[in-house]
A and B are shown apart, each in its own frame.
Chain A
């Protein structure tokens, strides 16, 4: 029998490696495969009139009136700073998450800052606060870091409708939310205005990254979004403290 020529062996190994590598590229991100489940409550983002609506009898209007009163307010009351305590902690038992919530704002490109320590999460400072009764409370967390491994929200993709999330506020009161939807969006298709809207019912919006990691842009292709509605609280929902 003839001994295979070393160059042929190298050629074979090379072809195998090329094949494996190509398969590797094609399936990259398969570990992140996530399907959307459940549904967010519909929120129509429209300019809304004042929030300090006093008890007002609209029944006075005749049924034939072409006009519809939306609100009557005491305009001499100046808007006051919202004193509802912000969230400081988050617990998601289903995925064994219990961590701190920092305050985050915007980066130089008007994107939401995410805490550099991937073990922590951030409450978007322009979003609603737990127990305020309306609007989206947005908490962001890394799926992973460049060199820190898995982040606090690594397993957000595994949450299912019915799982619970408990926020602890700065006044130590808690509000518990139940997941109603887990969605995945290509980053160019994320409905940011709805997710961050201050209108509509109080809801908790958790956001992290998902999809495939693009080594060129150093970013993931998708966002994973979990929406949860309040189910239990020892704070008075809808009453600012």
Chain B
């Protein structure tokens, strides 16, 4: 395939601060929303098995590091709370909490339980851009949710997002295909993640998360994919017309006929004089 060189782009959007109120809502917005939750607090940081509650109801059970669960929820305002395994809002204090997270109908969002830049547990909410893409395109979103300094994100050796800090993100639409992704300390050639093969499928949003801790030496990549967002091609031109000569021939015969009528008419007019 022809693969144009990826341009260097700035950070497309900062991670949304809570609440989600100003999130762009697709036209087909219903009264439901799609929320994914990513457990990105590494093992051994006090959250190895957790339960996630939303407005006091169990949302996700027995959640472990590196897993992503996608849940359909009614649009609304949510108090999110993460509890140690088996604990509930009735008998314990949450490990992590976020109050009054607004989730509009039709939105697609991801909540991450992760470490902040200094290594403390944090919740972040990101809105996922699921707008349609032209045929042959793929969208890559990169999110820094690791206890690590600013980084550069590279695809096939070219920096595509520079100086990304926790908890920010960058987004770019690229030709679908296979790439090699890596993460460097910002402004340096020191690679802290990868290079790893990354398949960016057509019509797919691929969200790559850098998570873990540089100090604990457990930085890792996690991904979330959302598929079937291609508009499809613009058409299928699959004919040249050689088996349909009739129209051209017919035009010719009709044209000859019209000429003959005109000519004969002129001659008749002339001979009547």
Contacts and interface: CB of A to CB of B under 8 A. Distances in A.
Interface string B134-149: 1110000000000000
B246 A24 contact: yes
Interface string B245-273: 01111111111111111111101100100
Contacts of B173: none
Given A11-B260, A24-B249, A79-B206, A146 B70 contact: no
Contact of B239 (A75, A105, A106, A219): A219
Contact of B225 (A51, A118, A223): A51
B255 A21 contact: yes
Contacts of B169: none
Given A75-B38, A76-B220, A106-B233, A29 B240 contact: no
A144 B254 contact: no
A204 to B, nearest CB: 15
A14 interface: yes
A42 B176 CA distance: 27
B257 A25 contact: no
B242 A148 contact: yes
Contacts of A25: 247, 250-251, 254
Contacts of A73: 67-69
Interface string B74-86: 1000000000000
A63 interface: no
B231 interface: yes
A144 B199 contact: no
Given A110-B234, A153-B238, A72 B67 contact: yes
A13 B258 CA distance: 10
Contacts of B241: 144, 146, 213, 215, 218, 220
28 contacts: A7-B268, A8-B264, A10-B260, A14-B256, A17-B260, A21-B255, A21-B257, A24-B253, A46-B228, A47-B226, A48-B227, A66-B73, A73-B69, A78-B196, A78-B198, A81-B199, A105-B136, A106-B136, A111-B234, A126-B135, A144-B241, A146-B241, A148-B242, A150-B243, A192-B232, A196-B230, A210-B239, A223-B238
Interface of A: 5, 7-8, 10-11, 13-25, 27-29, 31-32, 45-51, 60-62, 65-82, 105-106, 109-112, 114, 118, 124-126, 140-151, 153-154, 187, 190, 192-193, 195-199, 207-210, 212-213, 215, 218-220, 223
